[in-house]
A and B are shown apart, each in its own frame.
Chain A
């Protein structure tokens, strides 16, 4: 089945540690996105990538880094510079057909601080 796979489902970070969240899609979508959701809040865009080897900062990129070496993969690293990393992280992808089509989401990673 085509879809977006995020792993792990739950992740714990120690202080000072970098952690990487995985996002893989087999939908052949060009664009991929990372969002953060805090309780009672809307989704906020961290980074996005519209083509391989290119990515752009979203609204809250500080303390995060990404790479897009393959079309299928868009991993997110939460660095030690991100002082409040506890949140629900969602990866999404979409394709372009004259206009960007609706985004489809993976089932998310919950990150907590130990």
Chain B
């Protein structure tokens, strides 16, 4: 099983749509979880951290299910500017490499007018 697995997409949605991305991870010792956004030919930028209780930042909602080792990101009222690749990122969470992140390959979102 891959360490962090995401549906590669692309997800093509109209403006205003709600879209959900899912991600599974294999290391049950993982401690921290994040969603990053990467625009074409740019560096990844932190979108939000994911907390056990779930968290919301404006139109974005992140959820974590530790029992199922599953993370999700929900985007409501999609904007054209949301078009990007969304990376699911998991902290290794143990020993000397606890700062190390494992990146999924990303899910591409394209929001159309």
Contacts and interface: CB of A to CB of B under 8 A. Distances in A.
Interface of A is mostly: strand
A69 B101 CA distance: 23
Interface stretch (B44-52, B56-64, B72-80): B44-52
Nearest to B6: A42
Contact of A42 (B32, B87, B98): B87
A43 B104 CA distance: 8
A108 B97 CA distance: 23
Interface string A101-113: 0111111100000
A107 B42 contact: yes
A96 interface: yes
B109 to A, nearest CB: 15
Given A42-B105, A45-B100, A100-B91, A90 B43 contact: yes
Nearest to B8: A40
Interface string A40-67: 1111010010100000101000000000
Interface string A72-114: 0000000000000000101000101001101111111000000
Contact of B99 (A35, A48, A105, A107): A48
Contact of A41 (B42, B46, B105): B105
A21 interface: no
Contacts of A56: 96-97
A50 B99 contact: yes
Interface string B86-110: 0100010000111111011110000
Contact of A104 (B42, B46, B87): B46
28 contacts: A31-B99, A41-B105, A42-B4, A42-B105, A42-B106, A45-B100, A45-B101, A48-B99, A50-B99, A56-B96, A56-B97, A90-B43, A94-B99, A96-B99, A99-B98, A100-B32, A100-B91, A100-B99, A102-B32, A102-B46, A103-B46, A103-B99, A104-B46, A105-B44, A105-B45, A106-B43, A107-B43, A108-B42
